[in-house]
Amino acid sequence: MTPSQRQRFRERLVELKAEILAVGDIAPEAARQDTTAVGNDEDAQPLAEMSQSIASSRNRNRTGVLARVLAALARLDEDPDSFGLCAECEEPIAPKRIELMPYVELCVDCQHAQDGPAKKGGRRHLTDFR
Ligand SMILES: [Zn+2]
């Protein structure tokens, strides 16, 4: 990733951060896109919930997204070369994926690996797919 690309993502992250802070806890688009996923098993498995929110519910938890935005900004400052690389396998993350989620930490493969165990019952995604 070139410095100018990084600069662009930095600007988007800063915008996102301002957006989240301005909106508060729950944005309208979060409710629209993710109603089926809300309130399933957050209480039962806080740790799993954490990886799940990283996994597939980017709108579900604004606080979680904000934390990731801040972490991404910190990465840009402290270790710019690692920005855009998967935190797990250190392979470059697909550009489209970063475009969608400039704060993303994992490549698709590692994301799926994390997603796997959470899908055991299939409950969470059932309604999404039909
Ligand atoms: Zn990876």
Q: How many CB atoms lie within 10 A of CB 24?
A: 8
DSSP helix/strand/coil, 85: strand
Tokens 């590692």 -> residue: 110
Q: What spacing in Å lies between the alpha carbon of 107 and ligand 1's midpoint?
A: 4
Residue 34 is predicted with a pLDDT of 45
- How much is the pLDDT for 113? 94
Taken in order of first residue, the domains within the chain and their CATH numbers are 3-129 (1.20.120)
Measured CA to CA, the distance from residue 92 to residue 75 in angstroms comes to 15
* Residues flanking ion ligand 1, Cβ below 5 Å: 86, 88-89, 107, 110
pLDDT in tens, 66-92: 999 999 999 999 999 999 999 999 999
pLDDT at 62: 80
Kindly report, residue by residue over 9-55, the tens digit of the pLDDT.
999 999 999 998 887 655 454 444 444 444 555 555 566 655 554 44
| pLDDT confidence of residue 56 | 45
Phi, psi of 59 (to 5 degrees): -100, -5
Tokens standing for residue 32:
């629209």
